[in-house]
Amino acid sequence: MDSLIRMKELTTLLNEASRAYYAQDREIMSNYEYDKLYDELVELEKNTGTTLAGSPTMKVGYEAVEELPKEAHETPMLSLDKTKDREELVEWLKGKEGLLSWKLDGLTIVLTYEQGGLIKAVTRGNGEVGEVVTNNARVFTNLPLIIPFKGKLVIRGEAVITYEDFHKINATIEEAEAKYKNPRNLCSGSVRQLNNEITAERRVRFFAFSLVNAQENKEEKAFGNSREEELKFLRKQGFEVVEYRRVTPENIIGAVGDFEKKAVGYNIPSDGLVLTFEDIAYGRALGRTSKFPRDSIAFKWADELKETRLVEIEWSPSRTGLINPVAIFEPVELEGTTVSRASVHNISILKGLKLGVGDKITVYKANMIIPQIAENLTGSDTLSIPSCCPACGGKTEIRESNAVQSLYCLNPECSAKKIKAFTLFVSRDAMNIDGLSEATLEKFIAKGFLHDFTDIFYLKNHKEEIEEMEGFGEKSCSNLLQSIEKARETTLPRLIYAMGIANIGLANAKMICKEFDYDLEAMMSADMEALSQIDGIGEVIAGTFCTFFSEGKNRHQVEKLVKELNILKESVEEGSQTLKGMTFAITGGLTHFENRNALKERIEALGGKVAGSVSSKTTALINNDAASNSSKNKKAREAGVDILTEEEFMEKYLTIREEEGYESDNIE
């Protein structure tokens, strides 16, 4: 193939993959495949001496989206040249000392402080222009808002979500297709939210890795031309800095090995290491290329590849009708664990791999965590895409959106759709009905007890049959029916969330309900323009909301449900917003409220906010163990924030609401 033709193909492929990954938080190819194609393009450009317009080797990062304000960086943020060769790192140092640190896999942020306070946070964006996310940065869990240094300070670092928090967040999402693919995508979406309440709930952390500017710094000479001293200075200011090792050409290979051993169980997402010259002046004197600085280089792990055999493709239906392909292969050991499954994500990737049962494939763990198929060594391309849904036997079709093909079940009565939809409907943040697990719902649907959501409120008509079912009895059946009756009293945001509208979480449902003064008819009749103007909603969410209520059957289902429910009126009158402008944090167990969610809803109903962390702007921390030395208690004491028990909070902040005639279900 002509080199220029191949270069054009690679440019188109890689740019589309970058746009999907960075701007839309979705993946159309694996990291392994991207790196392989990128390296091929670099080699072609080197051999031909030609670089085409639009080549990803001439670009940095992603384009800033329209929803957030844009701002140009004072100095360009370049990406790093990279290598997978450890010996190359030895040569690169040229006998000098360096700092070797984690290359964190999140979203790069530039922070500016003046007079000791945070005044600006901007994402990396395209390297020249980023998005202003200052309000969101203020709720990062470990970011100091006030620092001792009073001059102008500009630093760079990475916003990340730990694997532990990533798994906790995914555990709260019922439907498989709605779960986040990796911490990097979740972090990117969290940092770029229009509503920083959502950012706070996601527990984003910040790790500083570079000091850009420290004007009027009397300690500047104390840095001694040392990168390490700069990081020590940032640590003194209260920042967490990226973990690093001081290295020389003699010990760098051993240091890389130490990082490699730690990488497997490391809680913070990382996709390699960064090596920077310890001597600041020397590094700066080296200058830069059009794309890379010469004072730093990235080291990417050589993925551990294992050859195995594809046994089958498992097709997994979901609530929305999306059928996800999952590769099942002969078990192999990767990065210390046995793996035998890997998501293939969608039909486009499936076709690109040219899979067939029995094919020899190579597999790896992306960032040493997530199993992926690297290559198909056989390429038989004999795999057939099912024309019938594996759950119900109904017809399927391939749909294309944003150049990505996916498989869907067309049967509106598909059992998999029903089970997943009912599972969401009864979940804690929706109707909150105890006793209806996915397995129980599956049995009830099979017996014909449940056809639509309204049928749940008539399960009492099948009481005798339920009592005779395996796993049930008179007591458990009675508990279930009581839970159902209790669920009749709910709120409009919970009902909207329970309907399972694509992209609509409980937080988004609350925003929409509040905007329309909790008028259900007005919400169902709203057009895209009105919805997309709501802060934090946007065109995608507005589109799925409008599409849902444009279908008569969905509107009819909601109208039927409303007749069965007692929807609590949520006052939006100014006089009832007694906590407006106040922000609370909650930790520890509760006694008067059913759980933290119940207390959070009470605070929000009164116009207040609940944050996931404590800062100087927090009105009070609610903790029944006010004397404990928990991290939140320590932060509250340091920031001068009141620590109140439940009773103290209720006495100080809920008295007015109760005098107005509002009653609490859990307060006697």
Q: What is the mean pLDDT of each run of 10 residues along the chain (668 residues)?
A: 77 81 69 84 81 67 57 79 88 94 93 91 86 89 86 94 89 67 85 81 92 70 80 90 95 93 86 93 84 87 86 84 90 83 88 93 79 91 92 89 85 80 88 88 83 91 87 88 93 92 82 87 89 73 89 91 87 62 84 76 80 82 80 82 87 55 30
Contact 302, 400 (CB under 8 A): no
> What is residue 53's predicted lDDT score, i.e. its pLDDT?
62
> What is residue 357's predicted lDDT score, i.e. its pLDDT?
93
How far apart, in whole angstroms, are the C-alpha atoms of residue 118 and residue 136? 12
> What is residue 297's predicted lDDT score, i.e. its pLDDT?
94
> What is residue 390's predicted lDDT score, i.e. its pLDDT?
87
Angle at 418 between CA 405 and CA 424, to 5 degrees: 90
> What is residue 576's predicted lDDT score, i.e. its pLDDT?
60
> What is residue 570's predicted lDDT score, i.e. its pLDDT?
63
> What is residue 660's predicted lDDT score, i.e. its pLDDT?
33
> What is residue 101's predicted lDDT score, i.e. its pLDDT?
96
β-pairing verdict for 620-622 and 642-644: parallel
β-pairing verdict for 583-586 and 620-622: parallel
Structure tokens at 259: 């990082």
Q: Is 332 left (phi over 0), alpha (psi -120 to 50) or beta?
A: beta
Count, residues in the chain: 668
> What is residue 193's predicted lDDT score, i.e. its pLDDT?
81
The pTM assigned to this predicted structure is 0.52
> What is residue 290's predicted lDDT score, i.e. its pLDDT?
66
How far apart, in whole angstroms, are the C-alpha atoms of residue 53 and residue 384? 39
Structure tokens at 519: 């008028």
Q: Which residues are catalytic?
A: 103
Contacts of 470 (CB under 8 A, 6+ apart): none
How far apart, in whole angstroms, are the C-alpha atoms of residue 28 and residue 16? 8
